[in-house]
Amino acid sequence: MKNSKLQLMLAGLFLCAAAIPAFAQEKSREDKKLEASAAELDKSAAKPEGQQRVIARIKTEFGVDDARVQSLRDKNMGYGEISIALGLAQGLPGGITDANVQKVMELRQGPPVMGWGKIARDLGLKLGPVASKVHKMSAEVRKQEKGEKANKYKKESGERMGKPEKHERHEKMERPEKPEKGGKH
């Protein structure tokens, strides 16, 4: 009897121990939103002329140069991941420096490989502001794409059809006066 209770308790403990890593791997809503915005930036960069738009946005948002963006690209990072890494480094004391970017990259690449939320917690930062910034960047790039697409369409449609010439307006003909009705005088 005691033996079976002990076995049952041990089995329960093993089940709980096995379930803990499964819950730890669950991504937060913030992580999912952040990764979706990062994927959208990568998708925009894959379009023609999109890469220049995304790089320009990263440079203006974080105040970095082409060399820093390219060095992170050389580490097989997407533009979304670059934005997240720079956003986290920006929150550290000293801002975006080689040491801060390296610290973020070491945590991301592991071992063990960490998610962005865990990295932010380990660095004493909140992921929310970074997620908002990346989402804002993604929306601005998308808005810029739409604007350029609309301008291109207007330009092409104007060239194809040409502007129609305005026709001259003819003067209105004067109405003949109505004859007076004959009535009682």
Q: Give residue-wise pLDDT tens across range 112-139.
A: 888 899 999 999 999 999 999 999 999 9
Spans of all domains in the chain: 41-156
**pLDDT more than 90, % of the chain:** 47
- State how far Cα 174 lies from the chain centre: 65
Query: Residue length, the chain?
Result: 185
Over residues 139-164, the mean pLDDT reads 73
Task: Work out the pLDDT band at 163, boundaries 50, 70, 90.
Answer: low
User: What predicted TM-score, i.e. pTM, was given to this entire model?
Assistant: 0.67
Q: What CA–CA distance (Å, rounded) separates 179 from 182? A: 9
How does 70-95 read in b/e, with b if 16+ C-beta sit within 10 Å?
A: eebeeeebbbbbbbbbbbbbbbbeee
Residue written as tokens 């082409």?
66
With DSSP H G I counted as helix, E B as strand and the rest as coil, what are the percentages for the chain, rounded to 5? 70, 0, 30
Neighbours of 68 (CB within 10 A): 18
Task: Work out the pLDDT band at 146, boundaries 50, 70, 90.
Answer: confident
Residue written as tokens 């946005």?
57
Over residues 47-59, the mean pLDDT reads 90
Task: Work out the pLDDT band at 88, boundaries 50, 70, 90.
Answer: very high
Residue 100 neighbours by CB under 8 Å, 6+ apart: 89, 92, 94
Supply 15's token pair.
Answer: 């089940």
- DSSP at 181: P
